[in-house]
Structure formats: C-alpha cells, structure tokens
Amino acid sequence: MKIGIVGAAGRMGRMLIAAVQAAEGAALAGGVEAADHSEMGADLGRLAGGEAAGVALTSDPRALFDTSDAIIDFTVPTATAAHAVLAGETGTVLVIGTTGLDAEHQAAIGAAAANAPIIQAANFSVGVNVLLGLVEKAASVLPDIYDIEILDMHHHHKVDAPSGTALALGHAAASGRGVKLDDVACKARDGIIGARPKGEIGIATLRGGDVVGDHTVIYAGPGERVEIAHKAASREIFAGGAVRAAMWGCSQQPGIYSMKDVLGF
C-alpha cells in the first residue's frame, strides 16, 4: 500500500515517514512540503534519520495524491482543507490528525468524504482512544455533583489551545452526561468569577518545554477525587496509529471515520 506524507519535513512528518517504512505491507509513496522549504529535494529516509528511501521531498501535493493509496496529514488547518479537496477529487484515503479546524475547514472535509474515505481523529494513540471510552463511562456513572476538569499540557511549540485531544475528552465527558460540550464548557477563568456552576466542564491549558502530550480528566466529588490520565512519551504512538488508520481506510467506502472505527470500539 502506497502512503504519502504531507508536511513530511516537520517533526511529526519525519515520525510518519519512519512509521510507514516500518509498517508491514506499506510503502512510502512520497512526501511534500512548501516549495521554499530548506530540505526540498532531500531523501525522505535520510530526513527521518534512517537509511535512504530513494524518494525525495517535493512540493506538489496533487502529484502525491495522484500516486498514493492514502495520504497522512498532520499539518495546519488551511493546508488540511486544501488537501481534503484533493482527496475528494482523486478518491484517495486521507488520514487527518490536524487540530484547530474551524467550521469552514470541516465543511471542506465533509464535502471530500462524499468521494473518499477520510479518517479524522484528535489523537491517533490507541491509549488515548481507550481513555476517551473510560472518560465517557465515568461521566455517565458519577452524578453531576462530581465536577469535571480537564488538564491539557503540551510543548511550547503547539499553536492551538485547548488541544484537539482535550476537546475530544470534553466531548466524551459531555456525552456521558447527555449534554453538549459547547453548552457547559469553561476554557478560561480569570478574576472574580463566582462559584463554579453545577455541571460545568472545565478545560485548562498548559504549555511548556518539550512535553509531547499529557492529559488528565479529574472528577472532583465530595470527599474524593477520581483522576484518569494519559501521558505520551513519544510521537511514535501517534504515527503508528495514523499508519494503521491509513491501511484500514483503503478497504472502506467514502465517508468520515474515527479512530474508534479503526480500532473496532
């Protein structure tokens, strides 16, 4: 199966290259970056810190979509929306790990899904997807006297906040309580804010150092506190899950799928 990487010279892109090379039954179709990237023309295998792959970094995403069975995209929202259009035109499987998407970006993805299988997830770690299930279940069991708070910490290079994973955890907790996250979320607190409203789901964001991704969901009740956490030590867990999703997507019909579909949850 031929898998291409967009944003191939970034930190996550390099991890994805290595993950494709390591996956049985997968072959590296190519990788693209902006035309003025300093690594343009570099061998992708060398770029990822391994042996030469015989495939160079290019700047033509359309050509990559034309020659790939699947594309993995962990870039930025505007680029992802453009790549979704290409997926819809070519019928290529598109795996999206980009976060910070707005309604317009999501609309482009939805339109592409009419013609191509699209697997979209806030986090491609198997452990995080188990966490999502646990968070929803705990929220459904614990009464709303238990206050729910979500703590999200990432490295200082991350540009969006809260993280896509933190928002996914918030949606899971809200689903467990039978409410919509947008109706109960609190993403910032400052000054004299008064008592915490019953049923609120708080999301706090921390950024610093080289933290790959730490997420903790806290259920604070009378006399006790329940905490469920996931700490990522390497981006390899995201890369491996994304490659798994790409290979799974090649046998699917057009539509939007989640990592829960890939894992059979």
Rounded CA separation 13/18 (Å): 9
Rounded CA separation 105/103 (Å): 6
pLDDT (tens digit, 9 = 90+) per residue, 165-212?
A: 999 999 999 999 999 999 999 999 999 999 999 999 999 999 999 999
pLDDT (tens digit, 9 = 90+) per residue, 209-242?
A: 999 999 999 999 999 999 999 999 888 889 999 9
Residue 236: what pLDDT? Answer: 87
Specify whether the CB–CB gap between 130 and 138 falls below 8 A: no
Does one domain contain both 103 and 75? Answer: yes
From the list 75, 63, 83, the residue with the least C-alpha distance to 10 is 75
Rounded CA separation 71/51 (Å): 22
Does one domain contain both 102 and 153? Answer: no
| Number of domains present in the structure of the chain | 2
With 80 as the cut, is the pLDDT of residue 265 above it?
A: no
Does one domain contain both 74 and 170? Answer: no
How buried is 198 (Cβ within 10 angstroms: 0-12 exposed, 13-18 middle, 19+ buried)?
exposed
Does one domain contain both 18 and 113? Answer: yes
Does one domain contain both 147 and 251? Answer: no
Rounded CA separation 77/104 (Å): 10
Q: What is the mean pLDDT of residues 5-32?
A: 96
Tell me which DSSP letter residue 45 carries: H
Q: What is the mean pLDDT of residues 98-117?
A: 96
Q: What is the mean pLDDT of residues 100-106?
A: 94
Domain assignment of residue 108, given as a range: 2-120+235-263
Does one domain contain both 98 and 140? Answer: no
What b/e sequence results for 123-148 when a residue is b if at least 16 CB atoms lie within 10 Å of its CB, and e otherwise?
bbbeebbebbeebbebbeebeeebbb
Residue 123: what pLDDT? Answer: 87
Assign residue 226 the CATH number of its domain: 3.30.360.10
Is the preceding omega at residue 162 within 30 degrees of 0, hence cis?
Answer: yes
What percentage of residues in the chain have a pLDDT greater than 90? 91
Q: What is the mean pLDDT of residues 74-85?
A: 97
Does one domain contain both 176 and 212? Answer: yes
With 90 as the cut, is the pLDDT of residue 53 above it?
A: yes
Mean pLDDT, rounded, of the chain: 95
Element (H, E) at 255: strand 255-257
Q: What is the mean pLDDT of residues 2-14?
A: 96
Of the residues 2, 105, 154, 171, which is catalytic?
154
Is 158 a catalytic site residue?
yes
Q: What is the mean pLDDT of residues 57-75?
A: 97
Tell me which DSSP letter residue 243 carries: H
Does one domain contain both 255 and 179? Answer: no
